[in-house]
Amino acid sequence: MATVTRTRPPAPARPTPAGRRPTIASARRRLGLLYASPMALLVVVLFVVPLVLMVWMSFNHWPLLGASSPNGVENYSALQDPFFLRAVMFTLKYTAVTTVVLGLVAFGLALLVQETRPGVGVYRTALFLPSVVGLASTSLLFYGLFNTEASPLNELVRWLGLGSVDWLGSTDNALGSAVGMITWRFAGFYMLILMTGLQSIDPLLYEAARADGANRWQIMWRVTLPLLRPTLALTMVLSLTGSLLAFDQFFILTGGRHETATVVISVYREAFLSQDLGRAAAVSVAILFVLILVNGAQMRLIRRADR
């Protein structure tokens, strides 16, 4: 390839260095730079620069309006704010419950629909369909279901003779309602990932296990789960990261009331209600730091499971 030269009209203004004619390889290098440049520009301007700016902002007093001034690590005192600490605790609790509930439901669904047989495609699509509805739309939909005025859910509960339930009326109720809603929204999404993992397990291994006299329970624990570990780890990374950054569901369902503010809601409050962007940036830097640690640990877990 590299030896093939392409004839092109000589460039009169700029003679090529060392008398070498431009080869295809060098033309390709230039073309590569040209083609990659729009993406590189987007990455640098909208990702690298804001990342650096965020760290810089965290060391400055930075009001929403007006001039900024350096103030050292003062913004990081936001991490000791009782409101923020409560948000951290609530977010951790929510993340733990969601990850367990969602994981179990999705795994159950994946076991149900993993085999290719007549009719299974319809079930897969029906179970997955909530995943294409936006999280904000989902929250507004369930706000209609969880309200105390016109909710069919409450009519059902009353019909069952359980009195009336205030689905969003307390921190615990709101937590449970949100977990139920998130499970509805994401179970099909994780089901699809887990299904792909299940289908990639060699059927010969199951046959061998059965030939050795293993029962279904033993096959689950000794064959399926160990081989599914990388996929399970992937869904856990997604679920943990997603729930730690929860915003839409609580912002819309409860407005962050009765101690249901999440970590990201507290960043939003610092930035746009307290109008202190420096403190918001400091909290963001801390969140990012923790998430990179969490992700790093999980990646190692996945890689170990892959071996």
Which of residues 175 and 283 has its CB atom nearest to another protein in the complex?
Answer: 283
Least distance in angstroms from the C-beta of 225 to another protein:
20
Which of residues 224 and 269 has its CB atom nearest to another protein in the complex?
Answer: 269
- The strand pairing partners of 276, in sequence order, are 63
Name, in order, each residue with C-beta under 8 angstroms of 28's C-beta and a sequence gap of 6 or more: none
What distance lies between CA 108 and its chain's CA centroid?
21
Which of residues 50 and 226 has its CB atom nearest to another protein in the complex?
Answer: 50
Least distance in angstroms from the C-beta of 299 to another protein:
10
Least distance in angstroms from the C-beta of 166 to another protein:
16
Which of residues 95 and 284 has its CB atom nearest to another protein in the complex?
Answer: 284
Least distance in angstroms from the C-beta of 77 to another protein:
17
For residue 294, give the nearest of 251, 243, 254, 241 by alpha carbon.
241
Which of residues 40 and 208 has its CB atom nearest to another protein in the complex?
Answer: 40
Least distance in angstroms from the C-beta of 247 to another protein:
5
Which of residues 47 and 221 has its CB atom nearest to another protein in the complex?
Answer: 47
Least distance in angstroms from the C-beta of 47 to another protein:
6
Least distance in angstroms from the C-beta of 85 to another protein:
19
Which of residues 145 and 205 has its CB atom nearest to another protein in the complex?
Answer: 145
